[in-house]
Structure 1
Amino acid sequence: MTGRGHERRGQDVASLVLRATLGPMLFAHGWNKVAGPGGIKGTTGWFEALGLRPAEVHARMAAGTEMAAGAGIALGAAGPLPAAAAVGLMAVAARTDHRGKGFFVFKGGWEYVGVVGGAAVALAALGHGRYSLDGLLRRQHAGARPALLAAGLGTVSAAALLAACYRPAQQPDKPQTQTDQ
């Protein structure tokens, strides 16, 4: 096999490994929103507390989008669209739940959502590879354009959703002190 053939096979394997880790993890996160300990009712309450209105719609939409994106990534279907969905989900999570909490996820920070979003964009750049549904159907999308599409579409979608539906509770005004005046 030529050097280019080995390189392509390596990319196909890298894509498969990335899809086999990222896809099922996203699917499981979505499934947990529906069937986890609090179920969809608990997820709805959590989304209400985050300020996503109407909370029940967003709970169901987030769960469904995570499961669909996870399945699409795991199967290697629909080019960069599942990656764009993952970027959008992570951008909304970063803004609503992880903002202002620093970097580390164990402190509530954005570490997890940053890694997942970055991995999704990297997968869009790498492409789903030969060992995927897209590969089987000969619909390969890889390179800078799919990566930019995933990052851009995900970010713009998240921004639109937040502009339309994010209404966090107002923080009560802090009483002024002598030093504030």
Structure 2
Amino acid sequence: MTCHSRRDLGLLALRLGTGAVIAAHGTQKLFGWFGGGDIDGVAQAFEAMGFRPGRPSVIASGLVEAGGGALLALGLATPAAGAAVAGGMAAATSVHAPNGFFATSGGFEYPAVLGWTAASIGLMGAGRYSLDRVTCHRLDQPWMVPVAFVTTAAAAIVIIRRRAEALAADRRADAADATPAED
């Protein structure tokens, strides 16, 4: 087995495993599969986490995960898929960041690793055993890498900032409610 064959098999294994895990999380949100809740229940949880409005946020997150994960697994539109998943995982990381790094304490370790892996695949390309190769890289052109990552980074910054603002507004409202009324 040549060095390139091993590299391509490794990329295939990495894509299949990572893409399947991410796609499964997306289908939990969208369809309630694999023990997920219904979309309205997930939307309420998203609202509580500061992602507003909840239902469109769940749909966007679910589509990024289900679609991006499936595309990563298939090795199709790899720069866009990797960037989209990395952006989605950046938002998930922002939810877990207050709990520290390790997943055992509810930290951001898991979404960070998924996002980092997806970004790395998006930057590397899918390898020989991929639909990008079968389609002659029509959806994996060199210019697509910076466009996908810059666009996704900008969107993730906006989403994370809006979430932080919503949570800050919630804290202010809670503080105002807790302040005793003066006579």
TM superposition score normalised by structure 2 = 0.81
* 2:92 partner letter: A
How many Å separate the matches in 1 of 2:141 and 2:126? 8
Shift of 1:103: 0.7
Taking a change above 3 Å as real, the CA distance of residues 142 and 115 of structure 1, as seen in their structure-2 partners, is farther
- 1:11-61 residue CA offsets vs partner (Å, 9 max, x unmatched): 211110111101111110011113144211221011010111111110111
Which residue number in structure 2 is paired with residue 170 of structure 1?
Answer: 171
How many equivalent residue pairs?
168
How many Å separate the matches in 1 of 2:108 and 2:73? 24
Which residue number in structure 1 is paired with residue 78 of structure 2?
Answer: 79
- 1:148-170 residue CA offsets vs partner (Å, 9 max, x unmatched): 66654432220122334651121
TM superposition score normalised by structure 1 = 0.82
Which residue number in structure 1 is paired with residue 181 of structure 2?
Answer: none
* 1:40 partner letter: I
How many Å separate the matches in 2 of 1:37 and 1:67? 13
Which residue number in structure 2 is paired with residue 179 of structure 1?
Answer: none
How many Å separate the matches in 2 of 1:121 and 1:60? 21
Q: Which sections of structure 1, spanning at least 5 residues, go unmatched?
A: 176-181
Taking a change above 3 Å as real, the CA distance of residues 115 and 149 of structure 1, as seen in their structure-2 partners, is farther
Which residue number in structure 1 is paired with residue 111 of structure 2?
Answer: 113
Shift of 1:79: 2.7
**Identity of matched residues, %:** 32
Q: Which has the higher helix share?
A: 2
Q: Which sections of structure 2, spanning at least 5 residues, go unmatched?
A: 179-183
Which residue number in structure 2 is paired with residue 178 of structure 1?
Answer: none
